[in-house]
Amino acid sequence: MSSKIRLIKNGTLVLPDRNEPIEGDIYLEEGVIKKINLETGSRKKEKAGGDGVIDAKGLLVFPGLIDMHVHLREPGREDEETIATGTAAAAAGGFTAVACMPNTLPPVDNQESVMFIKQLARDCPARVYPIGAISKGRAGKEISEIGEMVHMGAVAISDDGSPVHDAAIMRRALEYAGMFGIPVISHAEDSTLTGNGVMNEGYESTRLGMPGIPPYSEEVCISRDIILCKHIGTRLHIAHVSTKGSVELVRRAKAEGVHVTAEATPHHFTLTDTLIGKEFNTNLKMMPPLRTQEDVDAIIAGLMDGTIDAIASDHAPHSSEEKEVEFDQAPNGIIGLETTVGLVATRLVRPGHLTWNDIARKLSNHPARILKISGGELKTGVVADITIIDPKTSWTVRVDKFASKSHNSPYDGWKLHGKVRYTILGGTVSHAS
């Protein structure tokens, strides 16, 4: 479905700067929000109909959702995902924009690579913001062409998929990023501590006889990067926080005024390492690994108190051939664009951990602010990127029906609440269900 929208009427608007949703109508013109009528004592229900009108009665109307951490695999692994299929999955999941990581083949470490992504994404159903590599070839030895990538449209730098082992390189990355006003996104992992680990180190790994990855593999790296950030002052963003200790490190740093933000993924607040021994499903293998219930509880607490600023899917497509191997041989990562809203609704909103207004901040406003990109708000004069969700409808995850090219999800068959009804990009419907 692709149609121009001129009015969204009778919706429940979820505004990031408010604490509760409010009834209202949104008028669009030429892809921009022209006017918003909020419910007041004198407001009458909008009765307009016809083409270009969505009656959103009973539905939640959000600023377009933004996923600040996805892997689109193009160039190099188009068998797993392409920019076209990845953005189709994004639109199906309610996202109007995604930021794509640079661990492609070859890596996004120069202006030509950034330009390539932006050109391919030009007519896609979601906006794509490239993230450039910190180091050339993501090898961690030489700083990449940061200024040129930013000039071409890169919104952040990261070697995600790999940590930056050399503290001097990380220091220089923070210094250069500060010059261009972009954040450095840290994949926090000390590979010397990770070793050949394939799951969280603890009771379950010992019971299963599988090599473990200790939580302090992540925490040591976060500590180092926070210390560097504290002295340099550049904005630091911690990707996919997974441990109780990591949440506490970020919490303390924020209390000290350090310019650090953090994100959590749905799999790290919905799944634990106890699931691995039940079926050895390789779709439970990821980096950082699934941790314990104590870690899950800490991440939810961090989301509740604002320590963790954003929720990001870390959408990581892999072919079935790659995943259908022994657990220790499988690549890390799962897809997440099309399950994020349902998991958030089911595991965070319905239990009362977060409100829908909190979700508008975690999945829209905060990612936009961290990356300094457009979006993240519903107000007059902004581009009409809008997501409409039915909070009451339940649905069953069927990965074979997904728009993503890959199907590596541990949630297949799960019953979730909260269904995306419309994704609207620049006033035009990019997805409807």
* Cβ-based burial of 280 (10 A; exposed 0-12, middle 13-18, buried ≥19): middle
- CA 258 to CA 111: how far, in whole Å? 30
Query: Which sequence positions are flagged as catalytic?
Result: 314
**CA neighbor of 243 nearest in space, from 266, 210, 214:** 214
What tokens were used for 64? Answer: 């377009």
Q: Which bin fits 195, alpha (ψ -120 to 50), beta or left (φ > 0)?
A: left
Strand ranges in 106-198 using DSSP code E only, listed in sequence order: 127-130, 184-186
Residues 6+ apart with CB under 8 A from 111: 145, 148, 149, 151, 152
- CA 201 to CA 248: how far, in whole Å? 19
Strand ranges in 179-249 using DSSP code E only, listed in sequence order: 184-186, 199-200, 212-213, 236-238
- CA 91 to CA 298: how far, in whole Å? 30
What tokens were used for 147? Answer: 């200024």
Tell me how far the alpha carbon of residue 163 is from its chain's centroid.
Answer: 19
Q: What are phi and psi of 58, to 5 degrees?
A: 80, 0
- CA 296 to CA 271: how far, in whole Å? 8
H/E stretch holding 175 reads helix 167-180
- CA 339 to CA 357: how far, in whole Å? 19
